[in-house]
Amino acid sequence: MKKHLFKITIFSLLLMVSHYSNAQFQGSIQFEKTVGSMNINYKYYVKENKVRIEEISASGVIEGIQLVDIKENKVFAISPERKLYLEAPVRRPAADMKVAVNKTEKVKTILGQDCQQIIVINKEQDRKIIFWVTEGNYSFFIPLLESLNRKEKQALYYLKIKGLNNYWPMKSLEYVLSTGDLVSEMITKIIDETEQSTSLFEIPNDYSKFEH
């Protein structure tokens, strides 16, 4: 009898661990992108299959918002200033590219998170991007990149790395391969795992659809 109860207890613990490991991130992530002398701040709000992206000026003003449904693969752009919204058109996938991916043994701690270094090189584009990634419950991120379908090298190169379904890039640096010049940098500033209001991911009722 005791042996039977022990097996049930172990099975229950395994279910709990499995549920925890597959849990989706909910909260907000703030990061900064630097291109030359220009700094742009972003804030992601995440809840289930919904992501709200805010682009924030240096003075703290929200300049643009995107609402992304990664399950339905839909993106809505919102203008807080004009109280307008539109559904972003589906973009064609970027042309395939050849990159070399090197998952190095180097590790470092960023914001208290253990991070692994991954280097992606594209000789044809004369670019090298160094990613510092941390493992967690960030399964929303790759589907988000696929929904946004951006042509930025930071996003395109990240999607070429296999096995990062639950990872988040805490920091990334883009270099000109031939000269070593830094082109752009992205670094995470704050990760806050708190429950998010559903209203953050909805188009306000007083906003109008933008008509071309």
- The pTM of this model reads 0.85
Instruction: Classify residue 82 by burial, with Cβ atoms within 10 Å: 0-12, 13-18, 19+.
Output: exposed
Element (H, E) at 31: strand 27-35
Q: Say yes or no: domain 27-201 is CATH 2.50.20.10.
A: yes
Domain range annotation of the chain: 27-201
Q: Kindly state the average pLDDT of the residues 126-133.
A: 98
Average pLDDT over residues 47-60: 91
Is the per-residue pLDDT at 21 higher than 60?
no
- Kindly report the number of other CB atoms within 10 A of residue 148's CB atom: 19
Task: Give me the percent of the chain exceeding a pLDDT of 90.
Answer: 70
> Quick check: helix, strand or coil at residue 210?
coil
Question: Nearest-CA neighbor of 119 among 177, 165, 166?
Answer: 177
Whether the per-residue pLDDT at 94 is higher than 50: the answer is yes
Classify residue 85 as exposed, middle or buried by CB count within 10 Å of its CB (0-12, 13-18, 19+): middle
CA distance 157 to 172: 11
Length of the chain in residues, anyone? 212
User: Does pLDDT of 43 surpass 90?
Assistant: yes
Mean pLDDT of 112-117: 97
